Amino acid sequence: MKLPSSFYLEHDACAAGRLLLGKVLVTDLDGGRTAAIISETEAYMGVVDRASHAFAGKRTARNEVMYARGGSAYVYLCYGIHHLFNVVVLDAGIPHAVLIRAVVATEGFAVMQQRRPQAGTTTGGPGTLTQALGIRTVHNGEDLAGHRIWIEDRGIFIPDEAIIVGPRIGVDYAGADAHLPYRYRIAPSHPIKP
DNA sequence: CGAATGATATACT
DNA sequence: GTATATCATTCGA
């Protein structure tokens, strides 16, 4: 069920971004257990990617986790308000990461409601899904092989034709790299079995 | 469309 | 050490 560490070591950010669609992100944090199907991801392809925090090998206290071994969680605060959750892939020293941009909640609705009382809609973006799942910057560097945050394969298969590929969102500062087809999402018409 | 909101990176003294 | 610009966004008008 739980993805093996080899999954994170053997795929680069693009491959992992594609393969993580349909997988289930589970958290067991304060307040209870929640789970959600990953429905949208973005790949950040390391030192050659202008949109990545690790472009040109840049290394700071914030992005240090990107250089950790695949299977680590990279969580950081964006716009002073939102916590964004990434999955680090490939070996230590190679800063590839996959941003989880949207999920479909499957378990722990009561807990999610409690965490986001004002939730008009469901988890529509990268900043709100972390709130629903209870992920905060405290969890930066968390090992996905542990028992607080992990990803499971529950046999949900997403065929290639159900995947919409497009440019990443909110990375205009990256120049030409902003147009790269590194965003993956499950077509809204594609059924997701519970 | 634009304010909110605060850590972080970067460029200074 | 201090100052300032910048965000991998969201929500409400």
Q: Residue A25: is it exposed, middle or buried by C-beta count within 10 angstroms (0-12/13-18/19+)?
A: buried
Count Cα atoms within 13 angstroms, Cβ side, for A101. 20
Residues A52-71 pLDDT 10s: 999 999 999 999 999 999 99
Question: How much is the average pLDDT of A137-155?
Answer: 97
What's the pLDDT score for residue A194? 61
The distance (Å) linking the CA of A27 with the C1' of C11 is: 26
Question: How much is the average pLDDT of A66-92?
Answer: 97
Rounded CA gap, A63 and A52, in Å?
A: 10
Question: How much is the average pLDDT of A44-54?
Answer: 98
Question: How much is the average pLDDT of A145-159?
Answer: 97
The distance (Å) linking the CA of A193 with the C1' of C6 is: 41
In chain A, which residues from 112 to 171 place their CB closer than 7 Å to nucleic acid strand B? 137
pLDDT band at A141 (very low <50, low <70, confident <90, very high): very high
**Secondary-structure percent of chain A, ordered helix, strand, coil, rounded to 5:** 25, 30, 40
Higher pLDDT, A136 or A118: A136
Rounded CA gap, A71 and A52, in Å?
A: 18
pTM value > 0.75 = yes
Q: Is the pLDDT of residue A121 over 60?
A: no
Q: List bases in chain C with any atom under 7 Å of a protein Cβ.
A: 6-12
Q: Is the pLDDT of residue A30 over 80?
A: yes
pLDDT band at A122 (very low <50, low <70, confident <90, very high): low
For residue A115, the SS3 value is helix
For residue A51, the SS3 value is coil
Q: What is the mean pLDDT of chain A?
A: 95
The distance (Å) linking the CA of A61 with the C1' of B11 is: 18
Pick out residues whose CB falls under 7 Å from strand C. Answer: A 42, 44, 51-54, 66, 74, 78-82, 84, 86, 97, 99, 118-121, 124-128, 169-171, 173
Question: How much is the average pLDDT of A19-26?
Answer: 98
